[in-house]
Structures are given as structure tokens and as C-alpha cells.
Structure 1
Amino acid sequence: MSAPNLAERLQAVRKRRGFTQKDLAAHSGVSLSLIRKLEQGEREDTRLETLRRLAKALGVSTSDLIVRPDAAEGTAHDWTPVRDALLQRSIVQSDETPTAHGLLGVVETAEPLFTDNRYRELGTLLPTLLRDADALGSAGRRVRSRILHLAALLMISTRQFDAAEIALRRAQDEAPGRLERAAIVNSRCWLLMRCGDLAGTLSLAVGEADEIEPRLSRATPEELAAWGGLMLRVSTAASRNNEPGEAEDALRLAQAAAVALRSEWAPPSDPLRTFGPVAVATRRVENYMVEDRPDKVLVLSGRIPKAGFRARASSRNRHRLDVAKASTQLKRYTDAFEILQEIRAVSPEWIVNQRMARDVLGKIVTKRRTLTSEMRDMADFIRLEC
């Protein structure tokens, strides 16, 4: 985060709100002297906790003080600042002291950026967030693990797999309890799967599930969600590894946990991942797609309530991509393309990172003699060579 950018943004937003520097100090609790230094560019950096207080007083998002309005143009993004922060290369001395409580508040406002697939905005916050978490020392273990896990999820989503491994390793070292550790292991399984290591995914997921397996009649909702989520991971990996029996067994166990839980729920140990009956149903749809049963995909997907997707927009999008792929296999190309347009409209930063989206569009394109302008635009957007 450069001082000129912050200085210009802070001053512009403050003036647009009709605040003097003294007004902003009074409303935010940030000292007048620090506000003056920030606006004059005398300070090269500041704690994210401080920026959040300024943003709250000004009625804008924290990222508005960091990113210019045109910063999200284009499909490419430089993740170097996040990677450097994960490697602790971006340490900046500051006379401001972060607090675990204040940093937790920032994390809680940053996490929805991931669940809504607003990756660039989250990427602008994470370097400072990671640096502030490191500055907390031993007192910040819990919140630091949560921030590192969030960074790992972003890196996996954007295919920065080596950076994701660094974040997961650090997050696991800081994990305050067994369920938090299980959540991180679940994400590590996702990383292994995206890298094509199905055997490694199965081994890790089964091992961790065995470690935390609860008695269903006595299990807490958090235990059910953690264990059930791992069983879903086992099922997906087994299905892809051509082990349909093991995939079905794991799915059946996950279903038992979901029935005991009764509804979709995001546990405190893993607030960005929901588990419940809908999660199990969508995973069954995914397995059907892997097993080349498109008719089953369309039948079951029609029974899944749309209201069930409460946490990650990517969970809904992934399910819709499965439906789009099934539609192409059944030669329903118009339906498939409409789904791609739907996903792009709600999650443009997500779809450009999905190989399946390019596969689906590629199949549609090969069946057309001429492409519509909408199809050409979509092909350009998701970087399909055609």
C-alpha cells in the first residue's frame, strides 16, 4: 500500500463526506496528528485496524481507502504483495500497536469479500492484515491462524498453489484447537485435489476424519460439521479416483452427520464453510458429474433449494457449473451458456479461475458454426482460445 495512494484516497473521501480532519478524528477515534500525517503522505503505512476505524467513520469499506476505483480493471491481478506478506518480507515498523480484538473485527469484515468472490478487494487488505497479525506475537495466535487460513483460501481460489501451501502450513502451526486444525486440513485437501493429488487427498482426509470422528448421538454441531465436511472431501476424492464404493460410503456418513445437524451451518472453527443437507446434496451432484451421469445431475439439482447456499458463493457456482456441464452432455447448449452468463454476472472474479467453465464453453463453441457476440465476449472474458 503506497502512501500517495492512501493520502489521496483518504483526503478525497473525507472531503466528499464534508468532514474536516478534526471531524474525522472525533468520529473515528484516530488522532488528528496521525490523520494529518496520512493525508500529507508523511506516513508510508498504517495498521489495517486504524484504516477500518477511519473507513467506518467515513461510511465506506476499508478497501476504498486502499484501492482506486479503477484498480479492479482487467482480469489479471498481481498477488505478489500477499505472497510477500506470507513469507514475512513486508515487515514495516510502526508506532501503532494492533490489538487482537481490533484485528478480529477487521477479519470479520474481510471474510465476506471471500465468500462473495471479491478476490481483488480481499487481496488489497491481506498484506496489511497479515503484517498486523504477525505484530501481535504470541497473543495473536488464534486470530493469526484465522487470517492465514483466509489467505490460503484466496490463494487456492486464484491458483497460487505454492503460496497457499505456505499459508496453510503457518495456519496449522498456529491453530488453537483440534477443530480449527481440522478445518485447515480440509482446505489442504482442497489444495491437493486442485493439484491433482487424489491419493494424497484421500489419505489426508481419511486420517483427519478418523482423528476427530464423534459419536453422532453426543456430538456438538461444530463436531458434526467438521467431521461431515471431511467425509465430503473423502467422497469427492474417491469418486475422482474411480472408487465409487468408497465415495458412496463417505457420502452416506456425511449424510448421517447432516441429518443430525438438520440444517446448513457454518461452525466458528470454520466460518467460511457451511455443512448440512444441501452441502451433501450438491456433493452428490458433483459425484454424479464425475461418474458421467448427467441425467442424474439434472434431476437431483432440480430438487436442491437455492436458499441453501448461505456461505460461499463459490459453492453455488461450482454446483451450477456441474449443471452446465451436464447440460452440454445432454446437448442443451443454450441452457449451459445461460448458466455461464449467470455465474459471470454474480461472480466474475471466480469464473475466470475455473477450468471447467472454459471446458463447458469450449464444448458449446465446437457445436456452433458461428458464434454470437455474447459467446465471443464470454470467450474473451474467461480467456478461452477459439
Structure 2
Amino acid sequence: MNEPCALNLRLSSHQKKDRAMPDRSTSLGLAGLLKSIRKRRGLSQRELSELSGVSLSWIRKLEQGTAEDTRMETAHRLARALRVPTSKLIPAGDSAPPDASDVEQWTTVRRALEGRFDRAEPEEVPTLEGLTEIFTSAAVPALQSNSYAQLQMIFPHLLRDIDRLVDLSEGPAKLDARRLRSQVRQITAWLMSHTWQHEAAEHAIALAIDDAPDEHTATSATDWQCWGLIRQGRLAETREIATRWADNIEPRMTKASREDLAGWGRMMIRVSVASTRDNRPGDAEDALRFAHMAAIGIGRDYVPSTDAWTVFGPATVAMIRAENALIQDRPDATLKIGSRIDGARFPHPRNWARHRLDVAFAYIKTGNVPAGVEVLQDVRQRAPEWIMTQRYARDILGEVIEQRRSLTADVRELADAIRLPY
């Protein structure tokens, strides 16, 4: 293990400052907190509106308490203008409740995760070889291709059978069974977070971490734990967990395996993403620089053998850089980076689709609405099940509709397809 890198020392310093400062957010609430910070900065509501790009009417509603919450993007704009961490303005996170249809569709998976099964257990005894084959040849490809209907069919049975296998196994075979169960539970956590069912996701990832019998499996589980926390807007918590874990697993570059580099690099990505959203651009850039070092060490985007549903490498880091630029209100940089990334050879369609949503939003932010809509249509064609669950896609198309007096037939049809509310 190397000495802790400068980034870790720097972030630890920030965390100490955060803990040392009394947190008034709980007592003041968003309305009082926003007003207090604005006054400390010597800004009127109108001046804050001009600096942040948030409408004056919305700032007034927030300060008057008639709007009790706001989206993370709005909080981030206000935080940048006020020069405070974004998490200061979203102390309770930014997680909307799941759609009722998603809750219903994933009921059997949640019940299986809790050890409750709708059918009697079959007499046949499951085997590690058989469950590994189902996991690698059916579950992982279904996840990679965004085939959620297949996943809803596979996972109740997989969760049931892997529980029984762990119970029946002993010695080294039990460690192998636990490793597989950790991986199954990690994907379950991803599916729950992806559909905004965060309570179930946290339960799944806690079980996955507890099951992990080795460092690589534990790193993968921690990576998905951080992703779920980011989805909820729990940015400071994400940064602290990812920083601590990255410090623990920091490899020697000259001796590290690709799995070592990928695990450490993904932790750096989580630090960077959380820091960008939390209005800490210096920390975000430092973390992404370390992630880039790990990616260069790997050479080309790579799917770890111990984590077959993730990917890490230079293109992955470039996608995160494009995402960070968009959050920092630099859409031109997002488009420039996006133009250099070749998705044809990228290992996971899901990651590529997520990046293309950033490109679509960047086009719209720069005024090229037709290009943005064209990208959305392309993503929908390539990943129709995936885009239906993407609130980000709905937000992007919502921006388009807001800017247009009338809508084309294609835009109206796309709005219906991604379940954009009226």
C-alpha cells in the first residue's frame, strides 16, 4: 500500500473542517438557511437570481417556505453562486419517491431479497457451477443490454437459490458461494437504486458488503453503495466513504493488477462525481486526475473479471469529465469531449447511453435543440427499456418542451415513450 495520496489528505482536511463547523441546516431549514447565507454574502434575492440563473420567483418561494424542497441541479446553481457546498442546501438529499409502476414490477425481487418467495422451494439442490452459469450467461447480459423484463424474471429465482447454496456450503466452497451472492445482491441494489427504491437498495448493498469475502468484491460493492448515495444527493457521505476506501486500497502502480487499478480508479470517480455536485471543483479535478492515472495504467476500457457489470478505462474517465463539465455549466466542453469518444467499441451500452444523455442536454443548453432531440431519439432506439426509467431523460425533454411554443409529432411521441408527466 502506498502512502496516502495528496487528494486523500486534502479531502480529509475538508471533512475535518465540515465536522468542526456547527451545522445550522437542521435548525434553520432550507428557507432560513438560504436566506442566512445570501445575507452573509451581501446579495439581494435579485442579485442571487442573476448570479445563479435560478428564477427570482423560485428563490422567493424557497426563502418564504412555500417551496420546501428543490432539485439538486437548482441547489447546485445556488450553492455555486453562494460559494458553499451543494450538500449545505440539500441536507435531506434529493431523492424523489419511486414510480408506483416500478414498485409493483419489482415486488417479487424485493420479496426474494428479504427471503420471502412466492413459490415453494424446489427439491433440487442448487450448485455453484449452475448458478454461476445463470449469473454470467443470463443475468449479466440482461443487465448490460437493459433487458429489465428478463431481470424481473431471473432475479427472484437467483436470489432464492443462492441463499440456499450458501446455507448448504462449507469451507472454501462457502466463500465462493458468498462471493457469488454478493455479486447477485450488488446487481439487485443497482436495480433498486435505478428505479429509486432506495430503502431496498441500501438493504441489498449492506448484505452484499457483508457477504464479500475478498477485497475486489468488497470494492465493487462499495462502488455501488456510493452510486446509490449519489442518486439520493448524499454527497458528503459519498465523498467520505469513497475517499476512505480509495485510501485503503491505493495500489502501487508498478505492481498493480488491472483489477486493482480498476477498483481504485472507480473510487476516484465516485469522489470526483460527488465533489463536482457538491461544488468542490478542486477536489473533483484532483480525483479525476488520479482516476485518469489508473485508466492509463489499464490502457483500454476494461470489464473486470470480478465485476462483470462495470467498466473502467480512459473512455469511462472521459465520460465522467464530460458529465462534470455539464454540471459546472460548461456544455461546450461536454460536447467537445463527447465528440472524441467512440461508443462503437465501448463495452457496456448502459454507460454509453448515460453519456449520450449528457451530450443531448449539452446540445440543448447551447441552443441546438434539434441535435439534442436527435440524440434522445437515438438513445431511445438503442435502449428503449432503460430510457423509460431515466428521470434525467424526462428532465432534458422537459427543457425542450419549455422552450417550444409547439411540438413536433416526434417530440410528442418521445414524451409519451419516456413517461414525461403532463
The TM tier, using the shorter chain, reads 0.7 to 0.9
Q: Which residue of 1 aligns with 2:314?
A: 277
1:100 aligned to which of 125, 128, 132 = 128
Aligned equivalents of 1:82, 1:177: Cα separation in 2: 26
Task: Give, in angstroms, the shift of residue 92 of structure 1.
Answer: 2.9
Show CA shifts across 1:338-362 (max 9, x none).
1111111111221122222111111
CA contact (8 A) 1:278 1:308 kept: no
2:116 aligned to which of 79, 89, 92 = 89
Aligned equivalents of 2:377, 2:280: Cα separation in 1: 34
Show CA shifts across 1:193-235 (max 9, x none).
0011001110111011111000111111110000001101111
Task: Give, in angstroms, the shift of residue 128 of structure 1.
Answer: 0.6
Q: Which residue of 2 aligns with 1:79?
A: 106
Q: Which residue of 1 aligns with 2:371?
A: 335
Aligned equivalents of 1:282, 1:111: Cα separation in 2: 22
Show CA shifts across 1:109-138 (max 9, x none).
211101111112111110011000011124
2:258 aligned to which of 221, 230, 238 = 221
Aligned equivalents of 2:419, 2:404: Cα separation in 1: 18
Aligned equivalents of 1:120, 1:375: Cα separation in 2: 26
Moved more, 237-246 or 87-96: 87-96
Q: Which residue of 2 aligns with 1:317?
A: 353
Aligned length: 311
> Is 2:419 aligned against 1:383?
yes
CA contact (8 A) 1:264 1:308 kept: no
Task: Give, in angstroms, the shift of residue 308 of structure 1.
Answer: 4.2
Aligned equivalents of 2:122, 2:313: Cα separation in 1: 44
Q: Which residue of 1 aligns with 2:235?
A: 198
Give the alignment of 1:148-163 within 5 angstroms. Answer: 148-163=185-200
Give the alignment of 1:252-291 within 5 angstroms. Answer: 252-291=289-328
Aligned equivalents of 2:281, 2:411: Cα separation in 1: 36
Q: Which residue of 2 aligns with 1:46?
A: none
CA contact (8 A) 1:152 1:164 kept: yes
Q: Which residue of 2 aligns with 1:244?
A: 281
Task: Give, in angstroms, the shift of residue 385 of structure 1.
Answer: 2.8
Q: Percent identity?
A: 43
Task: Give, in angstroms, the shift of residue 318 of structure 1.
Answer: 1.1
Aligned equivalents of 1:120, 1:81: Cα separation in 2: 12
Give the alignment of 1:167-182 within 5 angstroms. Answer: 167-182=204-219
Structure 2 stretches of 5 or more lacking a match?
A: 1-100
Show CA shifts across 1:250-289 (max 9, x none).
0000111111111111112211111110011111000000
TM-score by structure 2 length?
Answer: 0.72
1:374 aligned to which of 401, 404, 410 = 410
CA contact (8 A) 1:225 1:257 kept: yes
What is the RMSD computed on CA atoms of the aligned residues?
1.3
Show CA shifts across 1:322-344 (max 9, x none).
11111111110101111111111
> Is 2:390 aligned against 1:354?
yes
Task: Give, in angstroms, the shift of residue 79 of structure 1.
Answer: 0.7
CA contact (8 A) 2:179 2:217 kept: no
Structure 1 stretches of 5 or more lacking a match?
A: 1-74
Show CA shifts across 1:153-172 (max 9, x none).
22122222111111111111
2:145 aligned to which of 106, 116, 127 = 116
Which amino acid is the alignment partner of residue 385 of structure 1?
P
TM-score by structure 1 length?
Answer: 0.78
Moved over 2 A (4+): 91-94
Aligned equivalents of 1:206, 1:307: Cα separation in 2: 32
1:299 aligned to which of 313, 336, 355 = 336
1:135 aligned to which of 164, 167, 176 = 164
Q: Which residue of 2 aligns with 1:4?
A: none
Aligned equivalents of 2:235, 2:386: Cα separation in 1: 23
Q: Which residue of 2 aligns with 1:29?
A: none
RCO greater where, 1 or 2, for CA within 8 Å and sep 6 or more? 2
CA contact (8 A) 1:235 1:251 kept: yes
Task: Give, in angstroms, the shift of residue 93 of structure 1.
Answer: 3.1
Task: Give, in angstroms, the shift of residue 244 of structure 1.
Answer: 0.4
Moved more, 218-227 or 358-367: 358-367
